[in-house]
Amino acid sequence: MQSGLKKFDKWLLEFITDKPGTNPLMGWESSSDTYSELNLEFSSKELAIDYAKKNKINYELIEPKERKIVKKSYADNFTK
């Protein structure tokens, strides 16, 4: 199978929780900080950076990796 390209044109702003805790009832990792549930999507890198600067949010930019596309044919499975 080959990976699709859906939503690779979006930039995400994700909030990282500093102190995740353990839920005493179930034992799952949880947090009282609701920002950890929030993901914002932007159509461009510049819009995401401008939003973070305008709202005084510290950010770390992670550039996407270049995809190496190897074109394959179904017939290649049988011709070696």
pLDDT in tens, 31-45: 777 777 888 999 999
- 24 part of a folded domain: yes
Summarised one tens digit per residue, pLDDT across range 15-67 is 887 777 787 888 887 777 777 788 899 999 999 999 999 999 888 888 888 87
Tell me the whole-structure pTM to 2 decimals: 0.61
Task: State the residue range of the domain holding 28.
Answer: 11-77
- CA atoms of 11 and 14, how far apart (whole Å): 10
- 56 part of a folded domain: yes
- 60 part of a folded domain: yes
- 5 part of a folded domain: no
- CA atoms of 59 and 13, how far apart (whole Å): 8
- 50 part of a folded domain: yes
- 6 part of a folded domain: no
Helix (H) or strand (E) holding 30, with range, is strand 29-30
Number of domains, the chain: 1
- CA atoms of 78 and 48, how far apart (whole Å): 47
- 4 part of a folded domain: no
